[in-house]
Structure 1
């Protein structure tokens, strides 16, 4: 076969032109059909059938182009004499064969495609930025109340799946828990949480059958958008939860990327018993985090969570999320209580790494590993893990907070830290979330020793939740406003617990009223024995308790507590777990004890490590701290404090300049 002659014949018979023209026109038709079927909600088979017809028509068009062509006399065979010469007047070409015509069609298609993709991406971005949803606690309708954790677990799973969708803001459980059994309307809840949609529903289980009903509600209109029931065996509940998430995404028109879809559809375990243990562990963990303070009940709940997660792993050793549960529990339990031990948080990193070995796409594993790296002073790894968590789960607020903490405490990059908090502010709107965020803003300005902005954000916290504890007492104490300090505690911390008595002890101590201070330090010691360990008291305040004992005549016990604090602080520094507040405390203890050389040594270490910037609140504290009363006139001490003031002033000026530019 002479291929050169064959291809020349294809060109003469205009087969190439027909093929290109057919492909172009078919593509246009397919786009029109797709738009029309979408607009008129026609069945999917209509578009599929048209695609089949267009594909089948292609070889027919090629055959006809090979055999026939148009002429002034009508259709003629391409082998005839009429076809071999151009039968049209001079300057006129055969129809549908002009290169200009085909070129114009191709340009139209390219233009339309580019316009469509640009608008599609823009509209999806706009939509996804605006779309927000809260998954309310599912109503548990079974009689066995001990199984309510199954309903809570189903709601949590739906919430987690939705959180994986980029651009969709999902309110966390801690913020929606207040609406359990509420009579508030969808519009009111939507306004309070600032969300566009609510997902509510019920969970009913009898024997091994589950009926899960969900309703999607538009909060703006206060009307139901969609409703669906899932009647399945309990061992299918994992698949059902991902189905709900996909249905919700479709109804509210948010696009799920292929990566997010894969994660949503991933089954964490095929073993329903392992999943049951896991959900039980999650419930214990959630209840522990909901407590106001760490006490015996808190520790017991974490112990129960540990047992449940271990049972889940024993039932299914490949259940990655159960290992994350253990990592979280150990992080919470050992962060304070085991800080003086060599192992400290070792089990956290082991469990997080095990989870990632089993599934490298678990945002929570990266998140808890990032927290671990922060606490063991590996900031570069903390940043890497936190950013990876946010790539997988854009709603992982915990990782954003961790990034903000690392930026300001390790890198001294206050602007980056503040920008991260501002990003969180865009994402969160519920009362619970904002309360925490304003607390973080307050901590940011505490570090800069900007008392005005610190108080502003503490006030915003207090306005949101008047009944909750806000750290106002320390602000009042270190700025020598003792009456306001005590009045605030009496008004807002009425319950007798470790927080109240330790706060009152601090107020009186910094005010120089040692007689009242010792009353509350003694009460705090009694509560510690009754309730359990408290980091702030046992690790951080032994020296102030000791100082108060010395001032009230108990020199022996007071000196014992002073020595205890020195040992604790030096042990933490030896283990590479210091914060610069501990070094500041050593300066204060040695100053009080009259050991000037030791005090100077720790002053130098504090300066070298940029302690004034990493623990900024001590600048205002040192002005009134009783431990430094004996050295206030010392030139070295004066110079030390002035150095800190200049560094903080420079940092505040840079942040204020940034904020002014932002506001303009």
Structure 2
């Protein structure tokens, strides 16, 4: 890699050597490499991505595959033997990865070796005094012609417009299992089997698995398979029913091609209750096999891992989990004792520890005084201690950090949980919340919001939830500069819930992005505010629109009402707006208030952990007349990525920047910011297209 500096080359050489030293150990993954190189997992991921443009797991896999080519060239081992020697637990998965990287299967390795060595040997074996025989050109030309034809054929296929059926998306919905018994006390067991099937399938990256919240609407719903498929955008449906009779579980599973209502596979299981975990794993693996999903050895290992060896503990856990799935305060408080009893029967039961932590977090979620913070931490740590690779353990620890507003510490736990369970709607919800509200990152916000929409289809049964889901998608799009897409999704949001005021003012800003009309923005925001004058979020948006119009007298009226309400209710909201509030009060002669809010703005900006700290400090210093410092802060901001579109749209008209715009360096620096945003927009668009999200 000629563009790498010496330090980067040494780093790659070091981690490559570490992978090669553990080449046959299939458990040696990203976490193990991070420990070996003495880095945090998140720092390792970022560094490898920056240097190689590969994920860390891809890098490790490629090192294994390169080593495999050397073994294959030796010719001493079979393909299966090589796969195990380089750390692949499954020869079929090894063959798949090898083909993806090199374009041909490992069995054809010898056919693709360079022939120079053989030609050199032939020359060496010629009689010493014999003149070299000229090589015949015709066969070479013929081979070249065949190569050109072959390449042309490949290009023709690759460049043909792809039809919608070129790759069948393996989207699957596990419908609520039915209780075949008249004994309703066993319903929690059947629900547990459904939940286990769903959780196991969620861990398979090659599938798109619809969330439980989306399928729950069909528990007592007579709709046909094609109707459900259309509403959930699912290719396959899983129907199940069962009962517990004595010490045996009877379970019937059907796999249905949703669009045609064709039954592709069905199986009746009769297992002893002590085999319940094997049953759950067999169901998930059979479903994946029937729809030809790629299941990696790591995924199989996780699916086959029993959560506990104690059936009494598991039975208690299922009773609690059934209540946790309907998280009212009453149900959450009733669920926790079941989980604690389960732990008494199995002190290593990670799922129960994690479930308690999650239940406590949900109980605390909307409370100002956090009652259960210590309990969340204790049970999350216990869950991680007993199973550090369990998605629920990782999520529980992330929730502890979110409880304490330590969002940067929560992030790696959620990212790891999503890596293990790529279809987890719960993890995606929390990641979207982090990336939009606490650790702003427009690319991640958009990607996870789109992924969440794919698996959490709420529109058919909850118009309010649907409206907010589509509003999030729209907001994510506009923050990344996708104006047309943002407009499309905000219109859908308002179709589901026209009175959604969040969507109304997001639409006002999308319209501004299209026409740059501040008067129209102000008019739309006022109309929204008239519908509910208790909404402080809309109130400050109206004030802001007058601020941008430089109608400071009117802006001051609205801002004064806003800050009085904020202080009356002791709300920590919209601290980033204190700079605009300070300017407004300064312009209308309220110097005391101006100084107060400017000081709050400066303190907030200096302590802001997000990427916008330098940007905010540039605004502050600009208004205070420190233009050289403001330029320095603005230059520092140019090193950031994934900042939102409003940075580009509103900076040129913000009164706080009036002084800075007189600085001769301003235009150059701001153009650099614009160029970086535009380049990032193009990259995000390409990335989303490659992931099938756009």
TM-score, with length taken from structure 2: 0.54
Q: 1:261 to 1:119 in 2, by over 3 A?
A: closer
What SS is found at the alignment partner of 1:221? Answer: coil
Corresponding residue number in structure 2 for 1:510: 548
Q: Given the alignment of the two structures, is residue 157 of structure 1 paired with residue 196 of structure 2, yes or no?
A: yes
1:608 aligns with one of 625, 629, 636? 636
Cα pair distance change 1:607/1:487, threshold 3 Å: same
Among residues 349, 352, 363, which one is paired with 1:319 in the alignment? 349
2 CA distance for matches of 1:580 and 1:377? 14
Alignment of 1:31-42 (within 5 A): none
Q: How far off its partner does 1:649 sit?
A: 1.2
From the CA coordinates, give the structure whose radius of gyration is larger: 1
**TM-score, reference length from structure 1:** 0.56
Contact 2:250 2:268 in 1 (8 A): yes
Q: Secondary structure at the match of 1:133?
A: strand
Taking a change above 3 Å as real, the CA distance of residues 390 and 195 of structure 1, as seen in their structure-2 partners, is same
CA distance in 1, matches of 2:642, 2:592: 34
- The alpha-carbon deviation at position 582 of structure 1 amounts to 4.0
Cα deviation, 1:229-274, whole Å, max 9, x if unaligned, reads 8899999987775565355446545565554344334343542334
Call closer, same or farther: CA 1:420–1:560 in 2, change over 3 Å: closer
Cα distance 1:230–1:549, how it changes in 2: closer, same or farther (>3 A)? farther
Instruction: Using the TM superposition, give the Cα deviation of residue 170 of structure 1 relative to its aligned residue in structure 2, in angstroms.
Output: 0.8
Equivalent-residue separation in structure 2 for 1:562 and 1:159 (angstroms): 52
Q: How does 1:563-574 map to 2 (within 5 A)?
A: 563-570=599-606, 572-573=607-608
2:669 aligned residue: 643
Q: State which of 610, 617, 640 in structure 2 corresponds to 1:579.
A: 610
Cα distance in 2 between the residues matched to 1:210 and 1:600: 75
CA apart distance, 1:643: 0.4
Which residue in 2 is equivalent to 1:618? Answer: 647
Deviation at 1:319, TM superposition (A): 3.1
RMSD: 6.3
d(CA) in 1 for partners of 2:250, 2:530: 44
The structure-2 alpha-carbon separation of the partners of 1:420 and 1:312, relative to structure 1 and needing over 3 Å to count, comes to: same
Query: What corresponds to 2:488 in structure 1?
Result: 460
Say if 1:166 and 1:596 are closer, same or farther in 2 by CA, change over 3 A.
Answer: closer
- Note closer, same or farther for the CA distance 1:144–1:462 as it changes in structure 2 (3 Å cut): farther
Unaligned 5+ residue runs, structure 2?
1-77, 83-90, 101-164, 460-465
Q: How does 1:312-461 map to 2 (within 5 A)?
A: 312-313=339-340, 315-316=342-343, 317-325=347-355, 354-366=382-394, 389=417, 392-396=420-424, 430=457, 439=472, 443=476, 446=479, 450=481, 453=482, 455-461=483-489
Distance 1:259 1:372, change over 3 A: same
Higher relative contact order (CA 8 A, sep 6+): 1
Summarize deviations over 1:260-319 as a string: whole Å, max 9, x none.
3443343435423344334434542xx7xxxxxxxxxxxxx6x98589558735751533
Give the gaps of 5 or more residues in structure 1: 1-109, 288-300
Contact 2:617 2:633 in 1 (8 A): no
* Residues 34-91 of structure 1 deviation map (CA, whole Å, 9 limit, x = unaligned): xxxxxxxxxxxxxxxxxxxxxxxxxxxxxxxxxxxxxxxxxxxxxxxxxxxxxxxxxx
Instruction: Please say if 1:273 is aligned against 2:303.
Output: no
- 1:487 matches 2:514: no
Deviations 1:66-121 (A, max 9, x none): xxxxxxxxxxxxxxxxxxxxxxxxxxxxxxxxxxxxxxxxxxxx99x99xx98997
Number of the residue aligned with 1:185: 224
For 2:530 and 2:174, the matched residues in 1 are separated by: 32
Aligned partner of 1:596 in structure 2 is 625
SS for the counterpart of 1:198 is: strand
Specify the SS of the correspondent of 2:612.
helix
Q: How far apart in 2 are the matches of 1:149 and 1:519?
A: 57
Number of equivalences: 513
SS in 1 for 2:484: helix
